[in-house]
Structure 1
Amino acid sequence: MTLEEQVSLLAGADFWTTVAIPRLGIPAIKLSDGPNGARGGGSLIGGVKAASFPVGIALGASWNPALVEEIGGALAEEARSKGASVLLAPTVNIQRSAVNGRNFECYSEDPCVTATLATAYVTGLQKGGVGATVKHFVGNESEIQRTTMSSDIDDRALREIYLPPFEAAVKTAGAFAVMSSYNRLNGTFTSEHKTLLGDLLKDEWGFTGLVMSDWFGSHSTVPTVEAGLDLEMPGPTRDRGDKLVAAVRAGDITAEKVRDAARRVLRLIERVGGFEAPDIPAEQAIDKPTHRALIRRAGAEAIVLLKNDGILPLDLSGRTIAAIGPNAETAQIMGGGSAQLNPHYAISPASGLRSLTSENQLRTGAGVTANRLMPLISGPFEVDVYGRPDLTGPVVEHQSHPLGEVMWFNAVAPSVADADFSLRATTRFTPSETAEHVFGLVSVGPSRLLVDGRTVVDIRDHWAPGDNYFECGNREARGTIALEAGRTVDVVVEYRFVQATALNFKAIRVGVAVPLGDKAFAEAVELARASDIAIVYAGRSGEWDTEGNDLPGLDLPGRQDELIAAVAAANANTVVVLQTGGPVVMPWLDKVRAVIEAWYPGQEAGNAIADVLTGAAEPGGRLAQTFPHRLADTPVETGDSLTYPGRDGHVAYRDGVFVGYRHYEKAGIEPLFPFGHGLSYTSFDWQAPTVDRPNFDGEGVITVRVRVSNSGARPGSEVVQLYVAPPASRVERPAKELRAFAKLHLAPGETVDATMTLSARAFSYFDAERNAFVAEKGRYRLIAAASSAAPRGGIDIEVTREIVEGVRARFQD
């Protein structure tokens, strides 16, 4: 291969494919966003339909590696249906903050849970012939200024908390690819971080796969290649190509660095079968019954029964049910951002329950809204693109889009440059009622919205990037206009693009609604009062839990807390179904009979929730993230903005290793619901743990067994969590840390042994001065528990000597 050919491989050809070299028979391969589905090459909205699986936090709550591996296998089939041979997943960042907008995409606050499930996901996906891309490497635990923020993390916290999931995915599961994060790590962009990508990932961990940038997350030529970033995405190249060829010839970087990166691209193509099947097939929407069944089963296994006084499972026979709340008739199936896709279908909670009831047995009422943005106008939008920035001259291209939200990842039209275009988008809207209507406008660049020629929203002169579209779009601007029922109006958006960040992204979004008021609230409460059972479907949506934006707090949006309290006061049989991408506070908890957390469980959401409510399925989930009483209790809420959300371009991980339950135990704070918590519809008896080696010298592993019996009348599942409590140490250590777990499924009367193994690393902390994992000599307590706050038995073992496991890469001198 010529130098130019090698360099050509080191950036994408376009948004989703690599570069082909026909002369040498080197094919292009296609990548697709994940991780809860394979969207293919379409936009974040619309596009070819795809299966929507439970999101990451739901899979984390399943605590079931076998299930996650099975889902990985199904996602391989989904990726292939989109012509993709590499999936940009899984997301294995740690849930450091309770308000991270992307918590829904991550598995857990704990590295043991995350590493175990990441390994399972990668294994299942790659057994299906599709490469996994483990992301985001590393320190992307917040969405605030994520493309520029420096995550300042010491070596110990990196090694004990944030790196283990990546290490397991690479060393145990053999991940084919790793994606660098947008942020800087200790001042250096991760895409240029030689210690991270070269010394640690490739040299110390022996990673033979490919390192790619996050989209537009590469900012330089020589520093990225020198550090070990193999593939710049998306294409066409911005920083490589001729620039890199010139750098090699000038001696600024060696030809061997380029060859190594090119080999890794070729190796990825080979590993996913690109040479054997070089043609990229057209995208297909294949709605497989097996995937439907798997999604429904996984959704139920992820649901956490937080509270139950015996009302669940529900007996629906002869009883009237009120399905209340903003999420009753709306299927909240996924979070927002690059993980979203166009699902085959979406079952709402009310629809799932309605299929199990007779006519007139179930009635619904929203009561309140929970949207962050005005509900999307239906469209279609007819778009005229101009080759000038001022909406003058000839129309160079006409486009038709099905929805009132339009996104462009690359050029809006082939014949116009980003700096030179403007557009006018037109749709028609027919109100269903005579009232004041609120229009909302979001755009990546200056725009205005007109209704029948009247300007309702105008942000041409004071547009600024805000909290939408990955921090590229403005905070939604709103305007009000009186409209008459049945009289159709023209809605027009005039738009000009301004590049707000490194992401070359354009978008407009129009929403409209008549806001719900006190009347709808009162009607919902009266509906509850007149029913035998009231179920409030509350929570958030992908507008709140989304890439590019952290949450404003832990309260339920809008008047939902008020609604739940009012419904509970009106009906003594009130059940709350939450759908969120992370913790919420619950000021009404003692007023309701039961609470379940259903997360975003994919396209079968309503069916999975109904299965658990009625007892057709066991609530198989356990919390993989602590739910606090209040935001102030969480690890990063220290009162110092440098700890979170960051200051002057830096966020300091001063919480160190005391993340999640480790923090609550250190601070003596009782959470609302502890890490690992989850109730069952049956009961379990545990015996004390046993070990095969009460004395451990560091060689091999210790095997721990805990015998568990289902003492109830129903089949059920239990999660045996194994924590290690260290002796007095020369460093401050958490009171205990999860080091292994086992998910058990038991029939009534069945007894099963949970078998878990512990290596020397399970007893170790990271000593930054010695650059080594160290297990001190002494007596350690092994605690078998149903949650971090619910021990079921313990046993002591003796580490008979100091065990030192040295590492090579060092992040700080």
Structure 2
Amino acid sequence: MASTNPTPADAAREAAVEAALAKLDLDAKARLLAGQDMWSLPALREIGLPSLVMSDGPIGVRGVRWTADDPSVALPSPTALAATWDPELAHRAGVLLAQEARRKSVHVVLAPTVNLHRSPLGGRHFEAYSEDPYLTGRIGAGFVRGVQSGGIGTTVKHFVANDAETDRFTANNLVSARALRELYLAPFEAIVENAHPWGIMLAYNSVNGTTMTEHRYLVNEVLRGEWGFDGFTVSDWMAARSTTDAIQGGLDVAMPGPDTIYGEALARAVRDGEATEADVDEAVRRVLRLAARVGILEGAEPVVTDLPATVDGEALAREIARRSFVLVRNERGALPMKPGGSVALIGAAARDARVLGGGSALVFPARIVSPLDGLTAALPEGTLTYAVGADPNEELSAADRGFHLRAVCRDADGTVIGTGSAPGGQIQWMGSDLPDGVTHDRLHTVELTGTFTPRESGQHTFGIKGLGAFTLTIDGTTHYDDVQRPEKDDPFAAFFAAPVPRAQAELTAGETVEVSLTQVVQFPQDAPLKVVGFSLCHQEPQRDPDELIAHAVEAARAADTAVVVVATTDRVESEGFDRKDLGLPGRQDDLVRAVSAANPNTVVVVNSGSPVELPWRDDVAAVLLTWFPGQEGGAALADVLTGTHEPGGRLPTTWGSLPDAPVTQVVPTNGELPYTEDVFIGYRSWEKEGRTPSYPFGHGLGYTDWTYDAIETTGTTVTIRVRNTGTRPGRETIQLYLAAVGGETAADRPARWLAGFTTVEAAPGEAVEAVVELPRRAFEIWDESTNSWTHVAGSYEIQAGRSIADPRVTATVTV
């Protein structure tokens, strides 16, 4: 259970909350629990409460408008943050996002995501941390403490078992009580206990037959009862379905608005005797407590009165990126690169980097440093060449590079009523998120209009992502004037469905043309939210892949080092769908094989948010995993490749091929998805099945060598002595795993499980000690017969080492 230890300031805030609550009538209380628009709750002037604002924020704070006019710092993806194995660095990331939130007048950040990497096919895993609940809980707790130290609330999400995207609105995930407790609930419990979050987001899916926004047992009895969580709960957007069941099931806030299951519907349910005002009061009390904590409730002092020091966003983004990069292979000292040598940089993603994931994780940074940008700045002039090699973008993508577009809003008479930005050719206006001066009643058409200057000559393809009536014009010619309809019933189809090609035009590099895409706006009568969402998409001329690869091979053969950047695309990894396979899109595998055959000193940089198959991994000199590295990714890559900094990351999830992966089922059957693997996911399942992954959990190399000299135990306190035996300073991530030693101790547990970790730094030849306290929970299992945690007495082997597959020293402890 969380330890609250109330202070006099806490008591004063609670008094202010009670005083405010006493002034509200039923209608005002019910109104406060319903979103007034996409991102905010209504103001209640009678108690001095302004509107409380929420915003997406796993890697940056977007703000209330989907616009590039107010840029956001874009940090590396959550998988990257977890790869640092550094809760303190996660804390600093949280401090920065709180700073960004205050700048954008946001009170609550909708993060972190602490669902687990149950299967490598999960399409949104880049937004979650790890396959391991202990690592996830530690990183998540650091992030929450950081954000809230800046006076901004968090909503830990998605509670619970929201581990895949397929049919996420309707899937009923069947999970044993033991798997729930030991795996999926564990990060939430750890964060509640150690970071005291001010909010939890309830997921779309059902667990064992009950949708999470109505799950009395998991929300009221476990989260609030057993763990002592005193914050507010909010639905995932459009997840709330039943007024009475939701208020009784523990849901405090239904988002977005204005049409929700709360508000007038909730007040009516109380008057009709279907719900109690006492339940409403409890929910309102928690929302007012949140308002008091963030400092917007009149008469209540905020939790944070002295703000943290200002953080340099660009510097922190660069530091997290290089600390997250995982060097999984480094033969013959290929990295760092030798000074002064020539470098052939190859790959479409080297020029057009994918630095963040799609959906809720998308923000618009003021700048993006690509690998080409970073290496151009870092290497001596004349030593770097570039070749595309192979383009993974086999589909149309955002109309960003070379496009200069604005959105023009008109009424039915054709009069302009407002204009707005259109980053990447995208319009995503939800609820009241409209350009200044524009209202839903007057809005008739939205035109994306501007110019496009191609960087290549040839046949360019243009297309549309979205639903409705569109007119597409390129260089004065109308190519499409018709209605684009959905393939399936999905409320987010306009945002996550694939773009449809609608035009082809022969264009010349450097010659600017006019482009226009107009939508006739329609708002369905039964839609819970008024949404304007569509995109102009584009694909450059498609050159012969064999020709591109041949050109890359020539460049590689002429260079001392070939650096190939391979990547996934937003049609492979994004919110809204799961992955079909783990292969790299396009001809990228062929590219790597061809380049490595021409140059044995080939370094492959893998730009993906989660695992991909690397069938050529044993044929190249080095493999560096860079995740989605954030806006400064290219600069960080140059730091690591040139050796000014070492790659600091360790794998937060197992990397392997799909045929070998033990857990691959993410598609429900008849609406149900059984978690038949029970407590065996990630490295637990790989070991149980006796399968060898490409790279094991916890693996990662630096630029120096380490020996593990000794391990000592005093009870459950473990002291490890390590020595830097290399030639340069370095950082080591010491990992501690427990293994039951026979008999009762086994209790059908995994062969080994992560029980502790820490990082140390040392100069060449220096020895350092690290002390790790093993948590009591590491020696417990969930007993389904008693519905409680059981301490399993017996002997355990403590294995300290560099990964789960590389233990260096061991000791035995009896508990």
TM-score, L = length of structure 2: 0.89
CA pair 279-509 structure 1, distance change in 2 beyond 3 A: farther
CA pair 279-111 structure 1, distance change in 2 beyond 3 A: closer
Partner Cα separation in structure 1 for residue 211 and residue 172 of structure 2: 8
Q: 2:55 aligns with which of 15, 29, 32?
A: 32
Q: Contact between 1:102 and 1:545, CA under 8 Å: does it hold in 2?
A: yes
The residue type paired with residue 658 of structure 2 is L
Give 1:106-505 correspondences, 5 Å limit: 106-275=128-297, 290-371=312-393, 373-377=395-399, 378-385=403-410, 397=417, 399-403=419-423, 404-410=425-431, 415-416=439-440, 423=446, 425-429=448-452, 431=454, 435-445=458-468, 447=470, 449-451=472-474, 456=479, 460=483, 463-465=486-488, 473-485=496-508, 486=511, 488=513, 490-495=515-520, 497=522, 505=531
What residue number does 1:811 align with? none
1:548 Cα offset (Å): 1.2
1:381 Cα offset (Å): 4.3
Q: Contact between 1:708 and 1:753, CA under 8 Å: does it hold in 2?
A: yes
What residue number does 2:25 align with? 2
May I ask how many residue pairs the two structures share in their alignment?
Answer: 772
Partner Cα separation in structure 1 for residue 194 and residue 370 of structure 2: 38
CA pair 237-462 structure 1, distance change in 2 beyond 3 A: closer
1:553 Cα offset (Å): 1.4
Q: Contact between 2:707 and 2:724, CA under 8 Å: does it hold in 1?
A: yes
Give 1:712-727 correspondences, 5 Å limit: 712-726=726-740, 727=742
Q: Contact between 1:10 and 1:232, CA under 8 Å: does it hold in 2?
A: yes
Q: Contact between 1:108 and 1:625, CA under 8 Å: does it hold in 2?
A: yes
Larger mean CA deviation between 430-439 and 531-540 belongs to 430-439
Q: 1:521 aligns with which of 549, 552, 555?
A: 549
Q: Contact between 1:468 and 1:549, CA under 8 Å: does it hold in 2?
A: no
Partner Cα separation in structure 2 for residue 502 and residue 619 of structure 1: 47
Q: Does 1:756 align with 2:778?
A: no
The residue type paired with residue 121 of structure 2 is V
The residue type paired with residue 764 of structure 1 is E
User: Which consecutive residues of structure 2, in runs of 5 or more, have no partner in the other structure?
Assistant: 1-23, 303-308
Q: Does 1:580 align with 2:608?
A: yes
1:175 Cα offset (Å): 0.4
Partner Cα separation in structure 1 for residue 491 and residue 210 of structure 2: 26
What residue number does 1:803 align with? none
Give 1:397-796 correspondences, 5 Å limit: 397=417, 399-403=419-423, 404-410=425-431, 415-416=439-440, 423=446, 425-429=448-452, 431=454, 435-445=458-468, 447=470, 449-451=472-474, 456=479, 460=483, 463-465=486-488, 473-485=496-508, 486=511, 488=513, 490-495=515-520, 497=522, 505-512=531-538, 513-518=540-545, 519-628=547-656, 630-637=657-664, 643-693=665-715, 702-726=716-740, 727-729=742-744, 731-796=747-812
The residue type paired with residue 255 of structure 2 is M
Q: Contact between 1:407 and 1:505, CA under 8 Å: does it hold in 2?
A: yes
* SS of equivalent residue, structure 2 residue 464: strand
1:549 Cα offset (Å): 2.1
* SS of equivalent residue, structure 1 residue 331: coil
Larger mean CA deviation between 289-298 and 322-331 belongs to 289-298
Larger mean CA deviation between 715-724 and 658-667 belongs to 715-724
Query: What RMSD in Å do the two structures reach over aligned CA positions?
Result: 2.7
CA pair 255-489 structure 1, distance change in 2 beyond 3 A: closer
Q: Contact between 2:451 and 2:512, CA under 8 Å: does it hold in 1?
A: no
The residue type paired with residue 781 of structure 1 is E
Larger mean CA deviation between 476-485 and 198-207 belongs to 476-485
1:426 Cα offset (Å): 4.3
Partner Cα separation in structure 2 for residue 289 and residue 268 of structure 1: 25
Q: Does 1:103 align with 2:103?
A: no
* SS of equivalent residue, structure 1 residue 732: coil
Q: Contact between 2:737 and 2:756, CA under 8 Å: does it hold in 1?
A: yes
Q: Contact between 1:622 and 1:676, CA under 8 Å: does it hold in 2?
A: yes
CA pair 314-396 structure 1, distance change in 2 beyond 3 A: closer
Partner Cα separation in structure 1 for residue 352 and residue 314 of structure 2: 19
* SS of equivalent residue, structure 2 residue 155: strand
Partner Cα separation in structure 1 for residue 320 and residue 679 of structure 2: 31
1:14 Cα offset (Å): 2.2
CA pair 101-505 structure 1, distance change in 2 beyond 3 A: farther
1:562 Cα offset (Å): 0.8
What residue number does 2:43 align with? 20
CA pair 462-299 structure 1, distance change in 2 beyond 3 A: closer
Partner Cα separation in structure 2 for residue 127 and residue 558 of structure 1: 45
The residue type paired with residue 460 of structure 1 is V
Alpha-carbon displacement from aligned partner over 1:543-569 (angstroms, at most 9, x marks no partner) = 532111222211111111111111111
1:349 Cα offset (Å): 0.9
1:464 Cα offset (Å): 2.0
CA pair 488-776 structure 1, distance change in 2 beyond 3 A: closer
Partner Cα separation in structure 2 for residue 692 and residue 673 of structure 1: 33
Q: Contact between 2:398 and 2:426, CA under 8 Å: does it hold in 1?
A: yes
What residue number does 2:4 align with? none
User: Which consecutive residues of structure 1, in runs of 5 or more, have no partner in the other structure?
Assistant: 281-286, 388-392, 638-642, 694-701, 800-813
What residue number does 2:305 align with? none
CA pair 540-433 structure 1, distance change in 2 beyond 3 A: closer
* SS of equivalent residue, structure 1 residue 23: helix
Alpha-carbon displacement from aligned partner over 1:429-461 (angstroms, at most 9, x marks no partner) = 455655322222211345463446766457726
Larger mean CA deviation between 503-512 and 676-685 belongs to 503-512
* SS of equivalent residue, structure 2 residue 333: coil
1:36 Cα offset (Å): 1.0
The residue type paired with residue 809 of structure 2 is G
Q: 1:55 aligns with which of 72, 77, 84?
A: 77
The residue type paired with residue 728 of structure 2 is R
Alpha-carbon displacement from aligned partner over 1:752-804 (angstroms, at most 9, x marks no partner) = 222112233211221112101223332222211211111112222223xxxxx
Partner Cα separation in structure 2 for residue 501 and residue 652 of structure 1: 32
Partner Cα separation in structure 2 for residue 662 and residue 421 of structure 1: 55
Partner Cα separation in structure 1 for residue 576 and residue 530 of structure 2: 15
* SS of equivalent residue, structure 2 residue 802: strand
CA pair 30-299 structure 1, distance change in 2 beyond 3 A: same
Q: Contact between 2:375 and 2:635, CA under 8 Å: does it hold in 1?
A: yes
What residue number does 2:14 align with? none
Alpha-carbon displacement from aligned partner over 1:704-743 (angstroms, at most 9, x marks no partner) = 1111111112111111111111233474221111111111
CA pair 165-543 structure 1, distance change in 2 beyond 3 A: same
CA pair 446-551 structure 1, distance change in 2 beyond 3 A: farther
Alpha-carbon displacement from aligned partner over 1:554-609 (angstroms, at most 9, x marks no partner) = 11111111111111111121101111101111111122100110112211111111
* SS of equivalent residue, structure 1 residue 606: helix
* SS of equivalent residue, structure 1 residue 765: strand
* SS of equivalent residue, structure 2 residue 195: coil
When you count helix as a share of all residues, which structure comes out higher?
A: 2
Partner Cα separation in structure 1 for residue 780 and residue 310 of structure 2: 45
Q: Contact between 2:557 and 2:599, CA under 8 Å: does it hold in 1?
A: yes
Q: Contact between 1:10 and 1:240, CA under 8 Å: does it hold in 2?
A: yes
* SS of equivalent residue, structure 1 residue 355: helix
Larger mean CA deviation between 588-597 and 45-54 belongs to 45-54
